[in-house]
Amino acid sequence: MSEFIGVVCEGNTPPHNWQDIFQEYIELIKDERSLKNLYLERDINFLEAKIWYVEIAIALLGTDQHERAKSWLSNNGYRDTSRAASHLKTLRIQLKQKRTQLPTEAEKGMTAADFEANLVALSKHNNGMDTNPKNISVARYCAMVTQIEAEVKSAQQPNGTKGRN
């Protein structure tokens, strides 16, 4: 959990399988806003990669690698350089639009202090159970948060329906 908090809140370098880890967290915690942002970041990464490949292919057309670049462009639906250049402009516009949809720092979500407060509350709720971020997994954290949310929801139901689904 401490590594997760470091990546999410402090900008630490994420592990190579970060998107899988973060997606699992979002799905377990049922955070629709974060899931939307994850998909948005995935789309941005895809567009950046596609732009890079098209730019490289166009640049290679004037080198001894022109046949390879021409083949790559053709295999990716570009019949000629002008179509590739035109599509490159479209991709850049799409990338710019996607980037404007990214949340600002203030909108991103939980801070390290928020996670710490949740961990303290979870410890209190679970009779002092160890919730040190170094000793708890992200999946366990999500399960405990989800359990408390279900208990709160159940307690808020009108009398006579408490505990029924």
Domain boundaries, the chain: 31-109
Q: Long-range contacts: 40-48, Cβ < 8 Å, 24+? A: 40/98, 40/101, 40/102, 41/102, 43/98, 44/95, 44/98, 44/99, 44/102, 47/91, 47/94, 47/95, 47/98, 48/95
Q: pLDDT under 70 in the chain at which residues? A: 31, 104-110, 159-165
Residue 48: predicted pLDDT: 92
Query: Over the range 148-157, which residues count as b (16 or more CB within 10 Å of their CB) and which as e?
Result: eeeeeeeeee
Residue 109: predicted pLDDT: 64
Tokens of 14: 């994420």
Residue 86: predicted pLDDT: 92
Residue 107: predicted pLDDT: 58
Summarize pLDDT for 95-110 with one digit per residue, the tens.
Answer: 999 988 877 654 566 6
Residue 162: predicted pLDDT: 52
